[in-house]
Amino acid sequence: MSDLYYDLETKELLDLTLEDQASAIRSLHFSIGVTWCECHKEQIFYRADAMSEHVLAHDRMIGFSCKQFDNAVLAYNYFLARADMPPPKQEKPRAPKKIDKFEIPPSAEELKRLFDGRTFDLQIDLENRVGYRLALNALAQGTLRREKQGTAALAVIWYRLAAQLKQKYAYALREANDSEGADRAQELGAYYQQRLETYCATDVQLVRQLFEYGAQNRRVFYLDFDDERHNVKVDWR
Ligand SMILES: [Zn+2]
């Protein structure tokens, strides 16, 4: 079985005060995604359609809090990205895109269901065992003695800074004949882009290491709010 670990970031922060979280998640825009699998190693994606096609070439998708969040963002953004593509030159209708023996389903709801059917969500599995939702950081600290590097809010800020500096300000400065300033804006934008990519890739590695630890040791650990370490038995394979 080919396993793929994945995580993605969005251009906007999810508003947790909204009552309808599912629809709030559907409206978020994909910024970047990272996957890791034995067969392709680490891959970074800038488009949801390319990432969707890559993940579907694998039998199982392993993530953290990914069923409700990542799978919805990926499925809805797949169709946004496709709609952005230039229209095909030929007149005849395009055949549905085939992934191995699969066709990409015609709607985002169905695509999300396809992802969900292949997904093993570590947060949901652990919630079923302990009765509440654990944070990835609490598990990374308890099990791997490592900490998450950033936050979802920082990822949104890094994305915006990178996009604005590189696309808007570098261009504007160059137009105004400040080429040194334009180079600086470009460099700083690249720096924030790198922070964003590293953050996302690190979370993918944490999920992978957490899963591998659990599969090997039949348990994982988390730190509670008092920094006490607790163990959870798992039967991951
Ligand atoms: Zn692969």
Cα(59) to ligand 1 centroid in Å equals: 10
Amino acid at 195: R
In a domain, 9, yes or no: yes
Please tell me the distance between residue 56's alpha carbon and the centre of ligand 1 in angstroms: 10
Distance 5 CA to ligand 1 centre (A): 10
Which stretches in the chain have pLDDT values below 50? Answer: none
156 within domain boundaries: no
- Indicate whether 52 belongs to any domain: yes
Query: Could you tell me where the beta strands, DSSP code E, fall in 21-153?
Result: 30-37, 41-45, 60-63, 98-99, 102-103, 119-121
What pLDDT does 42 receive?
Answer: 98
Distance in Å, CA 229 to ligand 1 centroid: 34
Give the tens place of pLDDT for each residue, 37-91.
Answer: 999 999 999 999 999 999 999 999 999 999 999 999 999 999 999 988 766 565 5
The per-residue pLDDT for 54 is: 96
**Is residue 93 included in any domain, yes or no?**
yes
Whole-number Å distance, alpha carbon 42 to ligand 1 midpoint, is 9
Give me the pLDDT at residue 199, please: 97
Query: In this structure, is residue 32 part of a structural domain?
Result: yes
pLDDT at residue 147 in the model: 87
**The tokens of 93 are what?**
């209708």
Residues 6+ apart with CB under 8 A from 224: 138, 230
- Ligand 1 centroid to Cα of residue 44, in Å, is 12
Hey, CA dihedral for 220, 44, 8, 6, is it positive or negative? Answer: negative
220, part of any domain: no
Per-residue model confidence (pLDDT) at position 85: 76
Asked if residues 61 and 38 have their Cβ atoms less than 8 Å apart, the reply is no
Beta-carbon neighbour count of residue 233 at 10 Å? Answer: 10
| pLDDT score of 102 | 64
> Whole-angstrom Cα distance, residue 15 to residue 236?
32
Q: What is the DSSP string of 131-182?
A: SSPPPHHHHIIIIIS------HHHHHHHHHHHHIIIIIIHHHHHHTT-HHHH
For residue 32, report the distance from its CA to the centre of ligand 1, in Å. 18
| pLDDT tens string 76-88 | 999 999 988 766 5
Q: Is residue 56 part of a domain?
A: yes
d(CA 38, ligand 1 centre) in Å: 6
Per DSSP, what are the bridge partners of residue 62? 5, 120
pTM recorded for the entire structure: 0.91
Please report whether residue 47 resides in a domain: yes
**How many angstroms does the Cα of residue 100 sit away from the middle of ligand 1?**
13
Ligand 1 midpoint to CA 51 (Å): 12
Calculate how far, in angstroms, residue 165's C-alpha sits from the geometric centre of ligand 1.
33
Give the Å distances, CA to CA, from 80 to 69, 76, 89. 17, 7, 20
Total domains in the fold of the chain: 1
Parent domain of 59? 3-134
